[in-house]
Structure 1
Amino acid sequence: MTNDHTLDVDFDDVDHDEGDETGRLIRPYAITGGRTGAETDISLEAQIQASHRADELVGAYRWEAARLIELVQTPTALIEIAARLELPIGVARVLVADLVDDGAVVLHVPQTTQNFSSLLERVLDGVRNL
């Protein structure tokens, strides 16, 4: 299952001896078809993990998405995915959102403190008591 929003780029034909300092001739945002944001808001610390359908879907994706699925066999933070794939965080976020939409990966959003201001007040009280 491929996403209609991304360009189909054959990286086997890319000469990695030329291009920018990473060896890429394709600019990172070309991977996402120029999209710089995702409809799904994914925080940097969100954990991404391959779904039970990942093995059946991985062959349908280009190398970036396939490599991303390989990386997330165990829960992995979005920021770590971007670093390992050597992609800008925005590109990694779009790729993850596309894979979530396709059902290839599952997004685990960390639970936020329901009453953040009360937590901050308790921390401040603790600091004052030092």
Structure 2
Amino acid sequence: MGTPEHPETEANLVRPYTLTAGRTHTDVSLPLEAPVQTERRAQPNQWPVSDPRGLIVELCQVGPSIAEISARLDLPLGVARVLVGDLVASGYLRVRPTLTESSTGDERRELIGRTLRGLRALG
């Protein structure tokens, strides 16, 4: 469905749109740096092998940020946010709180490390 010069480009742009049904926002608060974790009842194999929702659930067993999910699965950031928001709303994932005034130094260093890993993966 792409152009003769770039046959895959157009197809790659259509797929994210279909994954989110054209939605670009989610009702779930999802800071880019917030760690996302799989809930115990979620099973990544309930989706077809190539479905990004199953890949997201599997990846979230290690608590990546939204930015890391986007980079590791090669999904546009907006698409990753919408899909993660859907999975959170459905009870498959949960968003861990980000830093507060009472956060420890270790928690702050962990956030900086996750943010740097996400930025490196995007680049």
TM range (shorter): 0.5 to 0.7
Matches within 5 A, 1:1-130: 18-20=7-9, 24=12, 26-55=14-43, 58-60=45-47, 63-113=51-101
Structure 2, unaligned stretches of length 5 or more? 1-5, 103-123
Structure 1, unaligned stretches of length 5 or more? 1-16, 115-130
Let me know the Cα RMSD of the aligned residues: 2.4
Q: Is the 8 A contact 1:18 1:24 kept in 2?
A: no
CA distance in 2, matches of 1:34, 1:109: 28
Question: What's the offset of the Cα at 1:60?
Answer: 4.2
CA distance in 2, matches of 1:95, 1:51: 15
TM-score by length of 1: 0.64
Question: What's the offset of the Cα at 1:81?
Answer: 0.1
SS state at 1:26 partner = helix
TM-score by length of 2: 0.67
Matched positions, count: 96
